[in-house]
Amino acid sequence: MSVSGGTVSTAAKVLEQYISGEVAEANAQPQLLHLHQSDPRAVLAALADKANNVVCNADAGTAATQAGAVLINVARFLDQNASSETKAPKASAKGGAGNKSVSRALLDHVLLLTGTRNRAAKETAVRAQGCALVADLAVKSPDHVAAKDKLLEFALDRVPSIRERAVQGLATFAGSLDVDQALSARLGDPYTTVRVATVRSMRVNGITAPALTSRIDDVESSVRAELFHTLAQQPTAVSAFGPAALSRLVAGLADRSASVRNAAGLAVDAWREQLSGVAHLLQRCDIVEDEALGNAVARELAARFKDDSAVAARRFLSEGLTAAGSIRTPGAGGTSTPTEGLCAAMLTRHAIAVMSEEERDERVDVPLLLQRTTEALGAASSRQHGGLILRQLLHIVALVDFGDETARRRAERLGEAVLQRAPLTKVSSSSPSSAEFGMADLGILILRKCNGLGIGRGFQPRTSKHHALEAQCSTRAVLIISDLCQPLQGAAESEGSGDDEQGEGGQFATRLSMRLQELNNAIDERLQRRSSFAAQKKQAVAKEEFIQAQRLKEATVKNDAELDKLQKEHAVLKAERDDILMRVLAIIRALLRWSNSDMQRDPALFRTLNQIIAPVVALPALSEDVEVAAVTAICLFCVRDGGTAKSHWGLLLQLLRSVRPDDNSGTRSAADRRLFRARAAVAARTMADCALVHSGGSLDRDEILSAANALSVVPFPERHIVVEPLCSWLLGLGHVFFEEHLREPVLEVQWALGWMLVEAFKQHGRHFEEDDDFDDAASAIAGNSRAPQAHVAAAAKVARGRGASWVGSKPAAGNASVGGDEGEDEVDEEDGAEEQQTSSKMLQFFNLVPKLPGKHASPMLSLAVESIAESGLWRRGVLLPRIVGGRPRWLRGFSWPQLFAFAHERLPAEMRFRLWRCALQLCVSDPELAPLAEVPAALVKVMKEAPAGTAALLREAVALGADASALSPLLSRLPPSTDKSFRPRGESLLLPRAEAKAAEQEHRAALAELDIDIDVWAPAEVQVPDLVPPHLRRFGGQKGEAGRKRSNAENAGPIVPPTAFPKEAKQSFAEASAAPEATKRRRCANKTKDTNYDARLPLRDLGDIE
């Protein structure tokens, strides 16, 4: 059937009037429907013609967008009404090839306008308009494969608005594998609107659930809120999340943003209805692996569903638990699982915590609660999750009020029993001051409550009565410690090992420790014998002396039997001694945490330092856990008492300095390095706390400053243990540093400010400190025929020239002998999560520093930037070539442009000149490396806020040898009007290149005298690559394939050996680097035509349109 020209013109006229607003929608759409019923092809031709105009005039902006929306509405209206008014016999009478909706036919035409598959227009407006039309029309054609493929291409567009519109259109096809994978990839888009649209478009299933879970930590609250809105609309998809992911999602109820909390509440409400109760929802969460997260989840659920939680609490307390730890199910006679018993206990704890005091007194049966807690204490060791269940009940006991003397005495006996028999809580040596305390803390809290003392850390008046109650509570706890030490002390006295001068309990574990030392020596001797026997047996077999070999075999069997016996005895004695020592130290630490008494007026507690803790530290054969616990107790004494801190200040400094490399550090085992690191971490926190608490009191100014100096000069692999203590010290005592720095430079603290600022802008995912990153890439490339071996060798040479800190000590799997001694891989154990946490903390810190009160705030940030430039740390920001995945890439340790813009924005106008002088000095001292670190590019970005005198400083830098081509954007735009009276004496503000390099070497030498291994932190010199990154070529610099060759004077006496690319690698790397990253887009006009492709309107293949 031919298309009627009159009908086409009529339909086109109606469309034009509809788009221009001359005809209302209520009149235009019925007219088009009437024309469509008489001649569908004509109406479609008119729509296609208008679509051509809309796409071609996409740069019209709002008008084109509105016209496209009109076409979409018309197509949908025709599809909705034609299906009800057009009869099937009429369609069959036309003898068409098939039925096709108007939306689908128009979609086919728009796909041609967008360039079809793997083709797209160059103009952004054309691509955006085409993407919008395809996304809207695809709603009515969920099975259109070409539309799905086109939207997948648009989802990778470089323009964020096009990606956003594409993922909105992909919601129609959500559920297919390729779409789910594409949407999961878009969840990491750098633009917030794209991530929000992606979350809204996704369908929750097993493929998308992990990607959606990662958005819980999104920095934008709108993304997190949209995540929960999406989950609330799909409550049946809760089964797609594992226990750990579901716990993190439910914890969204405690999000810092109110909008996210409200959205999370909608999702949790839907899950509660889906799972038939709050208890079942909590059972689906992971509350065992991460106890802190489990408590947060239970707390939020109990606060949101108070009635359901109160019912569950009443049931738990009334029924109790079975011997296996499960709750008793009434009526059915069955029992639940032990995990359900733990969930019930945790929900009960937080349900009672959110009650008011009146509700608590009314609903909680205190005698029954004490009975259930006593039963849980007896079964804590034999019951699954027994320790966790007991801890929940102890929290409840610490919350409730004891109504009479009988209940108080029962609670007091319960607290004593907890200190004596409750299973010990494993406290991480790296974080011994975690917020979730152990059994000893709960036992001390119950004792304090029974003695009329508060259990919080708020202010309590220190009256005579208060001191008496504190002393009474401490005395009772110390008596419990004496009872615990009696078996060991009695055994020691029976063997005559006691010492009256040591006081009570002074040598209570000496016998066991001496026996353990003897066993250690005997075990080492047997191990050496076994190695010797094995070597002698191998030699005897080689010499065919089989009788001697048999004798050696029998001797080995006898030696192994003795070794096994000794090891078993060692394990039994070690467990016996460590169990009591850890319990004693846990009780002392709990007393120190919760006591509010004056240490000098609490003799029972104060004497434990010399009578218990000091002898424990002197014991031989101490285990790592006991030693760290004893050091932690000493540190708590130092924080509580200024005199103790002053007398132990040398010990704290020694513990912190023990992680520095020395003559014996190469022979340390992995266990010794782990122990030294744990002790140093405790000492670092203690020194910062003591400096803050005792400043102006027991500690003088030199001691306070020595804490910052010791924290600042830790080795590179151990920098993470001092990040938080340094931040605390600088926030509280930064004025002390600044005052001393004005008198005489404090290089240690200024150095620390520099490397902390570098950590804030570290490039994550690059792993510059790990040698195995390069080794893995090189090994993968070696097996890839597409990557030339010259690339591998070139990248290896450049990587080795970056400095020791950029090539860690972790050896490759197949080259264990290359990296040094074994076990070194544990020195610098970093993962992506730890690095990101450190960077986040550093950003928060330096965001806060300029806002501090006082004159020292802004100068501290400026000194940090100057430290990076003066010490050579800025070279870690140089872009250097690497081979990653068989392709050349330019990588760096941190971003200098981001760092410079961050500091420039937060410093006042009068201090920005120091930053410009610092940056331009880098351009003078190293004009070839500075552009690779993007120092000139950073200046260009902040050019509009340049301080007065910048133009003269810039011209002086060029005169001293800075790269004029790299600084040309600044030279052409900065006005010289403010430079006349800036320097009245005409003195130079920049150093010549030779003097600048000499000053840097002098600064690095001064840092080395302070025991800072500066070569590990940053290289003294980096070889300039022969190529320039593509995005920096517009700033000038090196030209051609080989680049500008440096003179002999510039290359004389390099500190680091030259690491230039080999000649055979230059050409291949230049070709790979010059290759475009992505294929350029083609125009959708005649330039996009292909000889094998016939682009035409799909009118002849439409068939009958209904």
What confidence tier does 328 reach under pLDDT thresholds 50, 70, 90?
Answer: low
Report for 431-435, 961-965, 1068-1072: range of highest mean pLDDT = 961-965
Which long-range contacts does 743-749 make (Cβ < 8 Å, 24+ apart)? 746/705, 746/708, 746/709, 747/1003, 747/1006, 747/1007, 747/1010, 748/708, 748/709, 748/712, 748/713, 748/1010, 748/1012, 749/708, 749/709, 749/712
Residue 45 near residue 5, CB atoms below 8 Å = no
Q: Does pLDDT of 342 surpass 60?
A: yes
Q: Please compute the mean of the pLDDT values over residues 408-417 and round it to a whole number.
A: 93
Q: In the prediction, which pLDDT does 5 show?
A: 64
Residue 228, SS3 per DSSP: helix
What confidence tier does 558 reach under pLDDT thresholds 50, 70, 90?
Answer: very high
**Helix pair 510-542, 464-494: axis angle to 10 deg:** 50
Q: In the prediction, which pLDDT does 15 show?
A: 85
Structure tokens at 84: 């009800």
Radius of gyration of the chain (CA): 37
What confidence tier does 802 reach under pLDDT thresholds 50, 70, 90?
Answer: very low
Please give the full DSSP string across 893-906, using - where no structure is assigned: SB-HHHHHHHHHHH
CA gap 138, 148 in Å, rounded: 8
Residue environment code for 173-184, b if the CB has 16+ CB neighbours within 10 A, otherwise e: bbeeeebbebbb
Instruction: Tell me the pLDDT tens digit for each residue of 642-688.
Output: 999 999 999 999 999 999 887 676 678 888 889 999 999 999 999 99
Kindly report the pTM of this predicted structure.
0.77
For 3, list phi and psi in degrees, rounded to 5.
-90, 130
Q: In the prediction, which pLDDT does 447 show?
A: 93
Q: Between 37 and 731, where is the model more confident? A: 731
Q: In the prediction, which pLDDT does 665 show?
A: 67
Q: In the prediction, which pLDDT does 743 show?
A: 92
Sorted by sequence, the CB contacts under 8 Å of residue 295 that are 6+ apart come out as 287, 346, 350, 436
Q: In whole numbers, what is the pLDDT of the chain averaged over residues? A: 80
CA-nearest of 175, 292, 154, 288 to 234 is 175
CA-nearest of 695, 834, 842, 869 to 764 is 834
Q: Between 14 and 1090, where is the model more confident? A: 14
Q: Does pLDDT of 333 surpass 60?
A: no
Q: Please compute the mean of the pLDDT values over residues 541-556 and round it to a whole number.
A: 91
Residue 328, SS3 per DSSP: strand
CA gap 818, 800 in Å, rounded: 14
**Helix pair 624-640, 546-594: axis angle to 10 deg:** 20
CA-nearest of 228, 313, 227, 214 to 270 is 228
Type of residue numbered 933: A
Q: In the prediction, which pLDDT does 552 show?
A: 92
Residue 753 Cα distances to 60, 743, 867, 876, angstroms: 52, 18, 7, 16
Sorted by sequence, the CB contacts under 8 Å of residue 519 that are 6+ apart come out as 566, 569, 570, 573
Q: In the prediction, which pLDDT does 3 show?
A: 54
234: left (phi over 0), alpha (psi -120 to 50) or beta: beta
Q: Does pLDDT of 491 surpass 60?
A: no
Structure tokens at 297: 């989840």
Structure tokens at 1022: 């980096």
CA gap 618, 641 in Å, rounded: 22
Q: Does pLDDT of 849 surpass 80?
A: yes
Residue 200 near residue 231, CB atoms below 8 Å = no
Sorted by sequence, the CB contacts under 8 Å of residue 21 that are 6+ apart come out as none
Q: Please compute the mean of the pLDDT values over residues 825-832 and round it to a whole number.
A: 42
CA gap 172, 394 in Å, rounded: 53
Q: In the prediction, which pLDDT does 668 show?
A: 81
Instruction: Tell me the pLDDT tens digit for each residue of 121-169.
Output: 888 889 999 999 999 999 888 888 999 999 999 999 999 999 999 999 9
CA gap 848, 861 in Å, rounded: 10
Q: In the prediction, which pLDDT does 85 show?
A: 53
Q: Does pLDDT of 985 surpass 90?
A: no
CA-nearest of 1031, 1032, 1087 to 123 is 1087
End-to-end CA distance of the chain: 15
Q: What share of the chain is helix, strand, coil (3-state, %, to 5)?
A: 65, 0, 30
CA gap 1099, 108 in Å, rounded: 10
Q: In the prediction, which pLDDT does 755 show?
A: 95
CA gap 263, 853 in Å, rounded: 38
Q: What percent of the chain has pLDDT over 70?
A: 78
Q: Please compute the mean of the pLDDT values over residues 995-1015 and round it to a whole number.
A: 92
Q: In the prediction, which pLDDT does 607 show?
A: 92
Q: In the prediction, which pLDDT does 329 show?
A: 57
Residue 176, SS3 per DSSP: strand
Q: Between 16 and 997, where is the model more confident? A: 997
Residue 418 near residue 453, CB atoms below 8 Å = no
CA gap 523, 530 in Å, rounded: 11
Residue 751 near residue 865, CB atoms below 8 Å = no
CA-nearest of 183, 242, 182, 252 to 221 is 252
CA gap 947, 953 in Å, rounded: 11
H or E stretch at 890: strand 887-891
Sorted by sequence, the CB contacts under 8 Å of residue 862 that are 6+ apart come out as 903, 907, 911, 914, 915
Q: Does pLDDT of 1005 surpass 80?
A: yes
Residue 889, SS3 per DSSP: strand
The conformation of residue 610, written as its DSSP 8-state character, comes to I
Residue 662, SS3 per DSSP: coil
Please give the full DSSP string across 803-847, using - where no structure is assigned: -GGGS-S---TT-TTTSSSTTGGGTT---HHHHHHHHHHHHHHHH
Q: Which residue has the tokens 């909680």?
A: 364
